[in-house]
């Protein structure tokens, strides 16, 4: 079974530039998550989709971050404009989505995108 | 706000030593508890999880964890570690009004051969 795919793997940009990350979840997984992991910390949920609807985006900085999951499969996460403190690994994960909100479900992670903002 | 604490950021052990990694959470309601592991150069993957029932949960590669509700803890254990257990271990909890997964900061485990 193919895992969660993410691209690019690495990205270096200057502050105030924009950047986009792409995620393709495991086939058949209805729930998709985007996490931000800053060095030395655990992942922090940015946004959670159930199919193409948003379940939770309470920690997404909406003034600069946006995400979409058109057609309920692939997803993109965008940062515009980027700040120095956005330097982090951006993880995408997916789960079956059979339980409400994905509660208790195993999440399957992609390799992450390492972003460095200069 | 809900939080998850992992007591040790770095642990160094010799092969065959016993392992216990601490995890405490701050939420008084129903919780689901997870341990994820990230081996060097690999993705995060599930080690074990507690959903309901027997509070002693067994996972892959000989790991187990015990949910002690009265202590708000879900410590990870392994009786005899191997060099291949070198990895970063994360505790996570589904909790709160929206049940999002809240993660600890992780524990880097190094096993000396």
Q: List pLDDT tens digits, range B38-60.
A: 999 999 999 999 988 999 999 99
Residue A98 vs residue B32, higher pLDDT: B32
Q: How far is B68 from chain A (nearest CA, A)?
A: 18
User: How distant is the Cα of A9 from the closest Cα of chain B, in angstroms?
Assistant: 12
Contacts of A40 in chain B (CB under 8 A): 9, 105
Cβ(B33)–Cβ(B93) below 8 Å: yes
Between B66 and A70, residue with greater pLDDT = B66
pLDDT at B19: 97
Cβ contacts below 8 Å, chain A against chain B, sum to 48
Across the interface, whether the CB atoms of B45 and A109 are under 8 A apart is answered: yes
Residue A118, classed as helix, strand or coil, is coil
Give the closest of B46, B90, B98 to A58, CB-based. B98
Burial class (CB in 10 A: 0-12, 13-18, 19+), B17: middle
Could you tell me if B109 and B21 are in contact, meaning their C-beta atoms sit under 8 angstroms apart? Answer: yes
Residues A4, A93 contacting (CB under 8 angstroms): yes
Q: Which of A95, A92, A83, A84 is nearest to A21 (CA)?
A: A92
Work out the average pLDDT over A24-29.
Answer: 95
The band of B27, judged by pLDDT with boundaries at 50, 70 and 90, is confident
Q: Retrieve residue A18's tokens.
A: 């924009």
pLDDT at B95 over 90: no
Cα–Cα distance measured from residue B67 to residue B106, given in angstroms and rounded to the nearest whole number? 18
| Partner residues linked to A118 by β-bridges | none
Whether the Cβ atoms of residue A108 and residue B106 lie closer than 8 Å to each other: no
CB distance A104–B94 less than 8 Å? yes
A chain contacts of residue B106, beta-carbon cutoff 8 Å = 41-42
Nearest chain A residue to B6, by CA? A42
């Amino acid at each position: 079974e193919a895992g969660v795919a993410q691209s690019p793997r690495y990205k270096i940009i200057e502050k105030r530039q924009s950047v986009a990350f792409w995620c393709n979840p495991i086939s058949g997984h209805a729930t998709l998550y985007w996490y931000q992991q800053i060095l030395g910390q655990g992942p922090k949920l940015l946004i959670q989709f159930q199919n193409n609807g948003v379940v939770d985006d309470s920690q997404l900085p909406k003034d600069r971050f946006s995400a979409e999951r058109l057609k309920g499969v692939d997803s993109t996460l965008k940062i515009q404009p980027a700040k120095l403190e956005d330097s982090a690994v951006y993880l995408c994960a997916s789960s079956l989505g059979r339980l409400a909100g994905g509660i208790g479900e195993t999440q399957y992670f992609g390799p992450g995108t390492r972003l460095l903002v200069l | 706000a809900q939080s998850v604490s992992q007591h040790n950021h770095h642990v160094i052990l010799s092969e065959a030593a016993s392992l216990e990694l601490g995890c405490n959470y701050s939420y008084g309601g129903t919780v689901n508890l997870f341990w994820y592991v990230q081996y060097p150069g690999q993705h995060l993957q599930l080690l074990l999880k507690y959903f309901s029932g027997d509070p002693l949960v067994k996972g892959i590669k000989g790991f187990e964890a015990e949910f002690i509700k009265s202590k708000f803890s879900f410590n990870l254990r392994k009786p005899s570690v191997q060099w291949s257990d070198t990895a970063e271990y994360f505790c996570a909890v589904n909790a709160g009004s929206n049940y999002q997964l809240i993660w600890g900061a992780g524990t880097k485990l190094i096993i000396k051969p």
